[in-house]
Structure 1
């Protein structure tokens, strides 16, 4: 058994390359998804149905579609409409758009729970629209929703494993390549589990730090 793990270690270049791709892909998707989700949350909270209804349809469509199926549609389906991505672009686009729907709903729910007094005070000082959202709504919103957003980032990391189906060279793709060449599935996949676990622990530490900051601001 130890020999199997030694074999995995001998392929550490491929393993670390896959890990680096997973980290970069997840980080970019989380940041882009948060920005897109914040924009969608503004539309969801809009009193104008012409804005809120289409946004709600998009969010519900993302939340009700399995990510694996969505990744298939992006990589294999969109080219029939003239939209072509390489594996990296398709993976990033799929993760960003899919999880933006979840982040929009998280921010919308946190927004609804915010006290009205600061928002009304901001409006009294002349803030409206995006300015009101950016300066008055968003800072406490980000702090209060940080734990749930952190869980969503963990979900992004886990969902990135599905992108092996479109040959994106992330961590699962790397360990699958190792086990198929050396016939050591247990050692290869357990190594991947430990690395995914380590990434999620890093996110949890970051969320805890934001939580302490939120407590200090109260």
Structure 2
């Protein structure tokens, strides 16, 4: 095997690590925001008011039906025609947040539907309503059951972040592409990028396993 390509990538490691650091920053910010927005959407869904639930379900279904790349194009290139302009970084984080928040809300709703109805009925009979009902009765078991699926969704955020190269966000895929375009070492540069993405995903998987163990010990 010719290791010359990997030697070139190593010589450009600062560029690759800079892309990795930006990818990690994007993933953390987008995941936190998607979790917050997704939880807010879930809270509206469990209220049971048809005037809110139906439009929310429609919006979630629409977002989930849109290819992520198209959503990036729409936010970065489409919205300026309406007078709304974002930097490429802000547009990327916004797209990741909106797209994954829809999945988070649906995952939480699915986990909520799988819970026994008796617990919610008993809580309502004891005077739990609204925000208090959601945060103290509904959310804890729903979140614990949804942890593995939420972990998978965070891995999806990591993978989706690579699409931000289309709006010139200088993340990990952008860095790998710049190195291969400059030195023509596509195999080495992309293999190194894949390894970094794999390490990020392994970190998420390890965190999920730890949370699952804690959840199981407290059942």
Does TM, normalized by the shorter one, top 0.5?
yes
In the aligned structure 1, how far is the partner of 2:122 from the partner of 2:210? 29
Task: Report the 3-state secondary structure (helix = DSSP H, G, I; strand = E; otherwise coil) of the residue aligned with 2:120.
Answer: helix
Q: CA deviation at 1:39?
A: 1.2
Task: Report the 3-state secondary structure (helix = DSSP H, G, I; strand = E; otherwise coil) of the residue aligned with 1:53.
Answer: helix
Report the TM-score when normalising by structure 2: 0.96
Task: Look up the match of 1:93.
Answer: 94
- The answer (yes or no) to whether the contact 2:60–2:102 under 8 Å persists in 1 is yes
**Alignment of 1:5 onto 2:6:** yes
- 1:159-193 deviation line (CA, Å, top 9, x unaligned): 00000000001100010011111000000000001
Task: Report the 3-state secondary structure (helix = DSSP H, G, I; strand = E; otherwise coil) of the residue aligned with 1:126.
Answer: coil
Q: CA deviation at 1:24?
A: 1.0
Runs of 5+ unmatched residues, structure 1: none
Task: Look up the match of 1:47.
Answer: 48
**Alignment of 1:34 onto 2:35:** yes
Equivalences for residues 4-83 of structure 1 within 5 A: 4-83=5-84
Task: Report the 3-state secondary structure (helix = DSSP H, G, I; strand = E; otherwise coil) of the residue aligned with 2:98.
Answer: helix
Equivalences for residues 1-218 of structure 1 within 5 A: 1-218=2-219
Q: CA deviation at 1:136?
A: 1.6
Q: CA deviation at 1:100?
A: 0.5
**Over aligned residue pairs, what C-alpha RMSD do you find?**
1.1
In the aligned structure 1, how far is the partner of 2:125 from the partner of 2:148? 31
Q: CA deviation at 1:124?
A: 3.5
Report the TM-score when normalising by structure 1: 0.96
Runs of 5+ unmatched residues, structure 2: none
In the aligned structure 2, how far is the partner of 1:126 from the partner of 1:71? 44
Q: CA deviation at 1:90?
A: 0.3
- 1:17-63 deviation line (CA, Å, top 9, x unaligned): 11011111111111111111111112223321110011011100111
In the aligned structure 2, how far is the partner of 1:79 from the partner of 1:134? 38
In the aligned structure 1, how far is the partner of 2:82 from the partner of 2:124? 44
Q: CA deviation at 1:97?
A: 0.3
In the aligned structure 2, how far is the partner of 1:81 from the partner of 1:160? 25
In the aligned structure 2, how far is the partner of 1:115 from the partner of 1:200? 32
Q: CA deviation at 1:83?
A: 1.4
In the aligned structure 1, how far is the partner of 2:182 from the partner of 2:63? 36
